[in-house]
Amino acid sequence: MQIFKNARIHSFNSENTIYETMAIENGKIVSIGNTEDVLERFKEREDKEIIDLKGKTVIPGFNDSHVHFMNYGYTGKKIRLNECKSIEELIVLGKKTLPYGGWILGRGWNQDLFLGEKRIPEKRDLDKISKDVPVCYTRACGHVAVINSKAMELCGITPETECFGGDIDYDKGVFTENALYLVYSHISKLSLEEMKNIILETQEKFLAMGITSVQTDDFESFPDKDFKKVIQAYEELEREKKLKIRVYEQGLMPTKGRIKELAGHKYFTGTGDERFKMGPIKLLLDGSLGGKTALLQLPYEGEDNNRGVVTYTQEEFDEIVKYADSLEYQIAVHAIGDGAVKMALDSFEKLPALNRKRHGIVHCQITTMELIDRIKELDIIVYIQPIFLDYDLHIVEDRVGYKRSLESYIWKTMLNKGIKLCFGSDAPVDSADVIKAIHCAVNRQDMNFYPKDGWLPNERISVEEAVRCYTLNSAYASFEENKKGSLEIGKLADFIVLDRDIFTIDKSEILSTKIDSTVIGGEILYINI
């Protein structure tokens, strides 16, 4: 038994009661209240360990409601291109890098951050890295990639190659959306042990950020897209008692055939236990705002012929959503543009008994009040990534115009309407750091505190609302709000200790907040020394 005493424990129960002391046994909270009462209750227990938190702030563990957990670790094996300010820098880094699995792989470039010419890199640029080794550089968003001539040859790409739901620019070597698979399928597979090591390495990084649960899209993170191996990696680590973080798998299954195969292995929403559990079927409907592949209802600003990319027709999407729903799967749809959001809602609207399965829309960035009202009416979960504001507030008006930007990223409005918002990161697309995300949501600013008064400042939310969206609301998305997300008797003892009271400090200090320790099931798994 552990007793954590002398703290400010923000329980996030229905009244968000603040307690002093919490007793834990067998991984669950057995008592919570003032120090005197809790210690008195267990005074005869000789096996108790008392930990003095010295007045520090305790909150429920963060639950990242949408992340690419294994891809986060896999991306760490590639060249990090996020800080590159020019195409020349991309080339220099590539020349310095040894191949990984026979390829030179990189991720993270963003043409909007380039100084000078803000163009997408091309085949001719990557040919300067190597003409003998295949090179693939993926944009930060994960929805656009460029490859060199050797990679084009290896992948069998010709001027006649076509792909529905994705674009191929043969001359420039640029691929988007579904066309990416024509490239990735030729990259070397990872072994089971390599995948397990990636999980363990990533787990340590997430624990240091106070993340105790993840809802993660892993099934197509690797070239072979072998979901069975992904599940095996998690389950073996659990049996070995090495899997500490709690995992709810958002399995990307883009076809009826893939969903049928998953169902054939008896993996349905809810299959598993508290460490690893199958969650929703993930469906990808459009691209990214940064890459101008998010599907819009109206054209991109200044581009009359570009509304983005869509990966299904409405009829095809209706069919796959209906099929997944008929097998009792929860569904989470990647939809960034308002065109994709509308398509998702149109499909959901046709389902019976909506929404006992807690279907949801992931990202939901470009919206209209009409769409937001429909989301509320249909009781759809919305998976939001506040960290996106760090970049997107600089580009959204350029992408969709001033008028449309005013009805986008409006999270306070959504909360006020009673829409269930669950916060996450989408890492490695952006940072998994929850503290940074809370800063963005509360201050409506980037990491440099721009703009001074916040972007769409009326859409600021409170620190308490932001933490609730990262804890209890995220637990709701995995049907676990009665098990975790708040600190109450009978719930899992998953919590973090902060170095300051994030609820009372000046909001400009949120970014300076540190994770002192991370606890899962009563086990202290991270201490900031």
Query: What type of residue sits at position 328?
Result: E
Residue 355, domain member (yes or no): no
Sheet holding 2-5: strands in order across?
28-33, 21-25, 2-5, 49-52
User: H or E element: which one contains 496?
Assistant: strand 495-498
- The residue out of 166, 184, 202 marking a domain boundary is 184
Residues 88 and 40 in one domain: no
Looking at the structure of the chain, the number of domains it has is 2
Same-domain status, 149 and 83:
yes
Specify the pTM: 0.91
120 shares its domain with 80: yes
54 and 144 in one domain? no
Q: Residue 226 has what pLDDT? A: 94
Nearest-CA neighbor of 213 among 67, 341, 360, 333? Answer: 67
Is residue 66 classed as helix, strand or coil in its secondary structure? strand
For the four alpha carbons of 490, 491, 492 and 493, in that order, the dihedral sign comes to negative
For residue 77, what pLDDT is reported? 82
Return the number of other C-beta atoms located less than 10 Å from residue 67's C-beta: 25
Q: How far apart (Å, rounded) are the C-alpha atoms in residues 529 and 527?
A: 6
Does the residue 87 lie in any domain? yes
**What is the block-wise mean pLDDT of the chain (529 residues), using blocks of 10 residues?**
97 97 98 96 94 97 98 89 94 91 92 91 96 95 93 94 88 92 88 95 98 97 91 98 98 97 97 97 95 95 95 97 96 98 97 86 98 97 98 96 97 98 96 98 98 98 98 98 98 98 97 98 94
Is 324 within the bounds of a domain? no
**CA atoms lying within 13 Å on the CB side of residue 392:** 30
Within this chain, do residues 86 and 118 fall inside the same structural domain, yes or no? yes
Same domain? For 11 and 56 the reply is: yes
Same domain, 81 and 6: no
Q: Quote the pLDDT of residue 185.
A: 87
Residue 502 in domain: yes
Domain end (from 147, 169, 184): 184
Range of the domain at 22: 2-61+488-527
Name the residue type at position 33: G
Written as one letter, the residue type at 342 is: K
Q: Name residues whose C-beta falls within 8 Å of residue 523's C-beta, 6 or more positions apart in sequence.
A: 27, 244
Looking at 162, 184, 206, the residue that finishes a domain is 184
Cα–Cα distance between 10 and 123 in angstroms, integer? 53
pLDDT at 455: 98
Residue 522: give its domain's CATH number: 2.30.40.10
Q: Is 33 exposed, middle or buried (0-12, 13-18, 19+ CB in 10 A)?
A: middle
Distance CA 523, CA 266 (A): 31
Q: What is the pLDDT of residue 355?
A: 67
In a domain, 15, yes or no: yes
3-class SS letters over 31-54 = EEECHHHHHHHCCCCCCCEEEECC
What's the pLDDT at 414?
98
159 and 111 inside one domain: yes
Domain assignment of residue 154, yes or no: yes
For the four alpha carbons of 247, 263, 184 and 336, in that order, the dihedral sign comes to: negative
DSSP 217-269: --TTSSTT--HHHHHHHHHHHHHTT---SEEEEEEE--SHHHHHHHHHTT--T
CA distance 215 to 233: 16
In a domain, 9, yes or no: yes
In a 13 Å sphere around the CA of 300, the CA atoms on its Cβ side amount to: 19
Q: Has residue 101 been placed in a domain?
A: yes
Do residues 104 and 176 share a domain?
yes
Q: Any idea what the CATH number is for the domain that residue 86 is in?
A: 3.10.310.70
Residues 93 and 165 in one domain: yes
One domain, residues 108 and 54: no
- Residue 95 sits in the same domain as residue 175: yes
